[in-house]
Structure formats: C-alpha cells, structure tokens
Amino acid sequence: MISLSASEQEQTTGVGGGTADEAAAKAAPAKTAPATPAPTSGDRGLVGGSFSMSSKRPKREGPTSGDGEYTFRDNSGRTDLAVSVQHLSITYRTTFERVPTFKNAIVRAGRGERALIEVNAVNDVSFDVANGTALGIIGSNGAGKSTIMRALAGILPPTKGRIETWGRASTLLALGVGFNAMLSGRENVILGGLASGLSRAEVEERANDVAEWAELGDYIDAPMRTYSSGMFSRLAFSVAVHMKPDILMVDEALSAGDAAFREKAQAKMDELRSSARALFLVSHALGSVKEMCSDCIWLHKGKIMMHASPAECVDAYTRFVKVGQTPATMEEL
Amino acid sequence: MSTATPRSESSASAADDSYTSVYHLYEPHKVGLPKLGVYFKELWKRREFAAESSKAGMRGANSMTFFGQAWLVINPLLLALVYYFLLNVVSGKIGQGFDAQQMAHITGGLFVFYFFQGAVGTGAGSVVGAGKLILNTAFPRLLLPLAAVRTGFYRFLPTVPVYIVFHILAGNPWNVATFVAAPIFLLFITIFAAGLAAVFAALQVYFRDTSSFLPYVMRIWLYTSPVLWTIDALRGHRFAEILAPFNPLYALIGGYGEALQRGVFPSLSVWLIAAAWAFGAALVGFGFFMSRERDFAVRL
C-alpha cells in the first residue's frame, strides 16, 4: 500500500463508530446476514425514508463533518471489485411544495416558515460488489434503492462516506430515457448517449442497434409523446443494454413489456451478466431477483437489513412485510 | 476488521481524472464547487451534446423549416417596425419620410437584444426542461444553459442579412470597426448572456416563477439600454450619464452599435466596462450554477 500522509489520514476516533451495524459493514466482503430484524413497534409505517420537516433554515453542517467517524478501507489497488460502498449516507433537502415559486417562498418567509424537508434517504450503507456479480436490491417503496443507484452513477453526491466504482455505470431508472417528449426516440437516444459521454460516432452507431432491438420500426423517428408505455420501456431497456456500460443498473424497466419482450429482455440480461462487470437489478419482482441474481441486498428506510443470498433475502423480506410469496409478489419481471 | 486498512493518498489522486479513468471515487464535496479542471474537461468532451440538444430543440420548434426560419426574421423585423413607428409618433416626426439611419440603428440593436433575451430566456428553462435527463445521467449540467445560448445565437444569425440591408440603405460605413470590433462586442454579449442564462437556469429550479417575471425585467432592460436610443442621447443628462455604466448592456450593446453602425472604435472605457461585465457575469453565473448543480437532481 502507498504511504499515508498524516494530515489526510483520518483514523477512527473510537467515538462515533462501534455500532453493530458498522461492525457488520466492516466485514463487508464476507456476506453477513444479521438475524432477521423484527419490525419494531416504534416503526412508523413501512414506507418512506425518514424525513423531518423544519420551519427554520436547518443548520448547514459541513457535508464532510461525519467522515472522521469512519475508517475507510483502501480499495484503490484492488481490481476484483466492481463497486465498493462504505458508510454511505445521503441526506438531501428538498421542498414539499408541488411547484416551488418565489411567491410562495416570500409568503412563507413572512410567516417564518420554509418549505423544506430533510430526507435521510440512505443511512450508513456499506457493501461490496465483486466483478461478475448480479446484485438484486429489494425493499419497500422509499427504501432508498433508487437513491443508491443514482449515487453509484455519480448523479447524487454522497453526504457521508465514499463510493468507488470500477467502470462506467449506467442508470436505467424507470422510464428514464426519453426526457423530451417532443423529440423523436432517436433524438432522445442520441442526446442521452452524448450526455453520458459517448462520442457522436459511437452514439449514432448504437442508435441503430437500439432501434432495431427495441423493434420500434418507424416509430423511432416519431416524437416520444406518441409512444405507448410498452414502447417507452422497450426503448429504455434497449438504450441501457446497448450503451455497453461496465456496470448496468436496471430499475423496474421490464414491467411494461409484453410476454415476447420479457423473454427477449431476459435473454439479453443473461448475455449481459457475463459481459458487464456487474449488474444491479432493482425490482419488486422478487421471483426474478431470486432467479437472476447471485447476491442480494434488502434495504429498508435507507438501511441495509440484510445482505445475503437472494433466496434468504426474499424470504426474510416477504416475512417482514407479511405478504408471503404469493404469485403477485413473485411475478416474473 | 482485518480489511480496514488505512486510506491512502492515491485514491484522492485517482479521483482527479475520475470521469475518464475506469476507477471512480465519489466522496462528499468539501466546498461548493467541483474540481474545475475535471469539470471543464468533461464539459468540453461533451460539447457535442450541447450542439445536438440545441439543434434538436430548434428542430422541435420548426426553426429548421423554411417558415420557421422566416419567422425568426419576420418576428424581430415586425417589432423593429413597431418601435420605429412608436419612436416617430412620440417624437412627432411622423410623416417626414423614412429615416433609414434610425431604422438601421433600431434593427441593429433590437436584433442583438433579441438574441440576448432569447438566450437568457431559453437558458432559464433549460435545467427544469431537462427533467429526466438530470435525474438519470451524470454530466456537467452547465451544458444545458450553454446549449440554450447556442440556440439563441443560431436564431440570431438569420437576422444578420436583414440588418445588412438596412445598413446599406442608411449608407452606413464598412470598415475595420464593423468587421473587427463589432464581432468582438457580439462575443462579449454572448458571454454575458451565458453567465445570466446560468444564473436564471439555477434560480428557475428553486423558484419556478422566475421565467414569468423575466420578460418584464427584459422589457425594462430594453428601454434602459441604447437599443432604441443612442449613447449620444445621454449627453447632457448628468444623472443618466453617471448611472449608465451600471447597466451592463449600456457598454455591451452601446459599443456593439457604435462599431457596427457608425464604424467607430468604441473608447477604451467602453471596451473595459463591456469586457468586465461579460467575464464577470460568466464567472459569477457559472460559479453559482456549478455550486448548486448537484442539488438539481433532488429538486426537480
């Protein structure tokens, strides 16, 4: 390992850390399966990350202030990992107004209020993903699954902790490709590709593959507002798999396709699992998580409840939410 | 705990080229601004995106069709005519024949003001309008307002020949100032517009009604800038002369007009004030935008 500089080096002070969670997280590469947590009585509902409303401007703490509490493993020399997440916490402030306007801000300021909520979307999450892993992420709505995906792609900065990825991560969050409904599918594909840093030649070459695979026919050059939801998700999925990311993240993308498309998507995913460094599948379709993934994380309210094999996670999760493995929850993709 | 080896410096240096290398490290940002070197390198690498997004936007607005192009000319031209008549009615000169000189001045100033207004206005909506792209793709967000400025510029270009017609009708001179100084001032105006576009694009994320009061700001700005009147008109009004340099467009459009229409090299003070406003606005605007841009994904 490379020599350390004393000033950069922030050793554990022994004050902040030391929770059971953290100890478990430290031993991350070895899968840890803490005893199935029972829902506590103080648990306010199952859904939603914790958030607090504040009427005053919250104190601006330096975003790095928490770093001192943790010791980070040095992964810089490693090549066996695709993703390493250490003590990741993401807290952000956003407004609860439907449309934030200057007018409302003034009205609220007059009353001494601010329309801000602080969302603790992710709370001290650590996990490693080795090359070749297909990681399933399950959890209730609002557990922080998509937030973690966005953080891995570099869209949301961590509030605490660190994220390391080896390779380019592509997000495929639900129906996320077409951002401008007035433009054609092809234009959206090209713009998305250029924005994510591909060259024009690469993008144009791939745009044809994307269109062909998605079987949109002439619709590829029609405005995206004319697309059906199935066409939308076919295009979204096709874009994600054709941009050849090193780390592929699929978030509920297949839900709108028809049977033939699902079959095709399944085959493509199997193919990608071997070529991509890692594959993340965020899904409520527990059956497909069980079937396709080699590793699984169960998130709840921004915390890792379990990091174990897909079967164990799905079992614990379904027990936790008391739904049981009915055909509805296990439904294929 | 055996894996908890101390963190080394190499990870920090690897982050310097985090966009380009295989290894990426994301850590909390210590201060508001991202690493500028990496940021602008990435920005430059994706300039194609700005160009393509601007082109696609113009295609969407039919700017590439014949009538779309024609409208880009007809609209400001009609406005110039309206202002021409208005000025003549107000000054009681109506019926004294066509004043080509004045028409050249109005078209020259109004067209470039329209470019400025359009660039800032489109820029203001650029981030909010990009919605899903912001949520799902990591890229330097500054590309969005810059693309809007590019759009504004390309909408301005078709009006140039129209101005030239009035330039010739008025018998205005063609000299070095027209071909050298005027384009430089146009560049200053573009840089200034880019800075403001960035500011309003970021503000629009927090206050969605920014774009509704922007037109009023622009209208007042038009009347307080040497578009419908010339810099000479201020002579003798001491109060106005003192205040004028605080209006950025006074030096920017004033200098542009002097060079383009009268073939005069603007005085040094005009050059310096114009350059200061242009680069100052870009510095402050881009800085503000970049310090807020990581917040956009959770605010949209």
The predicted structure's pLDDT at residue A325:
67
Q: Please state, in angstroms and as integers, the Cα–Cα distance from residue A166 to each residue in A2, A76, A194, following that order.
A: 19, 10, 21
Cα–Cα dist B147/B58, whole Å: 11
pLDDT higher than threshold 50 for residue A12: no
pLDDT higher at A177 or A306: A306
Please choose, from the candidates A78, A70, A68, the residue with its C-alpha nearest in 3D space to the C-alpha of residue A23: A70
Instruction: Tell me the longest C-alpha to C-alpha distance in chain B.
Output: 93
Residue B44, number of CB atoms within 10 A of its CB: 9
pLDDT at B202: 93
Give whichever of A2-11, B215-224, B289-298 has the largest mean pLDDT. B215-224
Give me the amino acid identity at B130.
A
Option in B23, B137, B207 nearest A105 (CB) = B207
Give the best-scoring range by mean pLDDT among A45-59, A184-198, B173-187: B173-187
Partners of residue B22 in chain A, C-beta under 8 Å: 166-167, 246
> A24-28, A317-321, B123-127, B268-272: which range is least confident on average?
A24-28
Give the contacts of A286 (CB within 8 A, at least 6 positions apart).
A138, A314, A317, A318, A325, A329, A330
Where residue A49 falls (left for φ over 0; alpha for ψ -120 to 50; beta otherwise) is: beta
Predicted ipTM > 0.85: no
Q: pLDDT higher for A72 or A22?
A: A72
Min Cα separation A116/chain B (Å): 11
DSSP string computed for B256-289:
HHHHHHH--PPPHHHHHHHHHHHHHHHHHHHHHH
pLDDT at B188: 96
Chain B nearest C-alpha distance from A9 (Å) = 7
Q: Band of the pLDDT at B200, cuts 50, 70, 90?
A: very high
**What's the confidence (pLDDT) of residue B165?**
92
Cβ within 8 Å, pair A196-B48: no
CA separation, residue B147 to residues A41, A94, B251, B282 (Å): 53, 27, 25, 15
pLDDT of residue A64: 45
Report residue B78's pLDDT band, with 50, 70 and 90 as the boundaries.
very high
Residue A128, min C-alpha distance to chain B (Å): 12
Q: Which of B3, B30, B56 sits opposite A64 (nearest CB)?
A: B30
Contact B208 A99 (CB under 8 A): yes
- B9 and A192 within 8 Å at the Cβ level: the answer is no
Q: Can you tell me which residue has the tokens 């004028």?
A: B244
Q: How far apart are CA B55 and CA B36, in angstroms?
A: 27
Distance from CA of B122 to the nearest CA of A (A): 15
Distance from CA of A139 to the nearest CA of B (A): 20
pLDDT of residue A117: 82
| Residue percentage of chain B with pLDDT more than 90 | 41
Q: Among residues of chain B, what percentage have pLDDT more than 70?
A: 90
Q: What are the strands of the beta sheet with A133-139, ordered from one edge?
A: A169-170, A247-251, A278-282, A133-139, A295-300, A303-308
Tell me, what's the pLDDT at B8? 37
A167-192: per-residue pLDDT in tens?
877 665 544 555 677 788 888 888 88
Predicted local confidence at residue A326, as pLDDT: 65
Burial of B38 (0-12, 13-18, 19+ CB in 10 A): middle
Residues of B in contact with A171 (CB under 8 A): 136-137
Closest chain A residue to B52 measured between Cα atoms? A191
**Could you tell me the pLDDT band of residue A253, with boundaries at 50, 70 and 90?**
low
Q: Do A4 and B8 touch (CB under 8 A)?
A: yes
Q: Find, in chain B, the residue whose alpha carbon is nearest to that of A187.
A: B56
Q: Among A118-122, B2-6, B267-271, name the most confident range.
A: B267-271
Which chain B residue lies closest to A152 (C-alpha atoms)? B26
Indicate yes or no: CB of B26 within 8 angstroms of CB of A100: no
Alpha-carbon distance of B140 to A260, in angstroms, equals: 38
Of the ranges A2-11, B157-166, B210-219, B237-246, which one carries the lowest mean pLDDT score? A2-11
Are the beta carbons of B209 and A76 separated by less than 8 Å?
no
**Angle in degrees, CA A106, A108, A112, rounded to 5:** 110
> What is the rounded distance in angstroms from the CA atom of residue B76 to the CA atom of residue B67?
14
Residue A259's pLDDT band (cuts 50, 70, 90): confident
